[in-house]
Amino acid sequence: MIKTIPLSLLGVTIVKVIMPIQTNIIQHQEYTSKKVISIKADIEYFKQKENAQNNENIVQNKEIKNETQNNVQSYTTRMTSYYPEEGEKQTGSGLEPKDFEVNEHGWFTYQGKLVVATATTYLANQGWRVADGVHLRKYYDEITLNIDGVDYRAIVLDSCGSSMQTDRVDLYVSNSQYVKDTMIEVKE
């Protein structure tokens, strides 16, 4: 003889069996999601670490090139200008126009030296690509610029993104009427 089980009892049994399985599936999905997020975070961490190491290698290679190139006393490059009205109110070194004097040409000076922006190790360390042959400098490095046949001492107080590709020197001037765009000789 076949026993019949009331459906209401069967439903309770099914629910008792299905509920733990469903709970386990949900817990497993949450665990898997957390693992995926953790793995993605690990991948991002290692990518950033690899990029930082690559950038450090680039900077070290450029510094070695610069040490080799220091045997060469001078080179010719383009000098352009920038000024506060372009939105450049503070230099990368943290100094501002109020910290500078203005010479007879309308150019900013700091401790008697022209204020310039160049390709810098700061930008290289931030991941900027550095073209071959570009001279990397640090803030407060000093160079001599021969502008129109006159030697001027200059101090690097800012970074110039374009210089990372072109090796130009960007002169900080007091306003647009003193902008200068010319070829100069840089003496190390």
Domain total of the chain: 2
- 62 and 77, same domain (yes or no): no
pLDDT band at 68, cuts 50/70/90? very low
Q: Which of 56, 71, 86 is the last residue of a domain?
A: 71
- 77 and 149, same domain (yes or no): yes
The pLDDT score that the predictor gives to residue 85 is 86
Average pLDDT for residues 145-162, to the nearest whole number? Answer: 96
Name the more confident of 37 and 111.
111
Largest Cα separation within the chain, whole Å, is 117
- 81 and 43, same domain (yes or no): no
Q: Which of 41, 71, 101 is the last residue of a domain?
A: 71
pLDDT band at 52, cuts 50/70/90? low
- 93 and 172, same domain (yes or no): yes
The string of DSSP codes covering 67-115 is HHHTTS-EEEEEEEEE-GGGT--S-TTS--GGG-EE-TTSBEEETTEEE
- 92 and 169, same domain (yes or no): yes
- 119 and 45, same domain (yes or no): no
- 98 and 62, same domain (yes or no): no
Structural tokens at position 6: 């009331």
Q: Percentage of the chain surpassing pLDDT 70?
A: 61
| pLDDT(33) > 50 | yes
Range of the domain at 5: 1-71
The pLDDT score that the predictor gives to residue 36 is 52
- 35 and 119, same domain (yes or no): no
Name the more confident of 24 and 148.
148
Q: Which of 71, 95, 124 is the last residue of a domain?
A: 71
The pLDDT score that the predictor gives to residue 38 is 54
The pLDDT score that the predictor gives to residue 140 is 97
The pLDDT score that the predictor gives to residue 17 is 54
The segment with the largest mean pLDDT, out of 5-9, 10-14, 65-69, 166-170, is 166-170
Name the more confident of 5 and 151.
151
Task: List the CATH number of the domain containing 90.
Answer: 2.40.40.10
- 46 and 109, same domain (yes or no): no
Distance of alpha carbon 53 from its chain centroid, rounded? 14
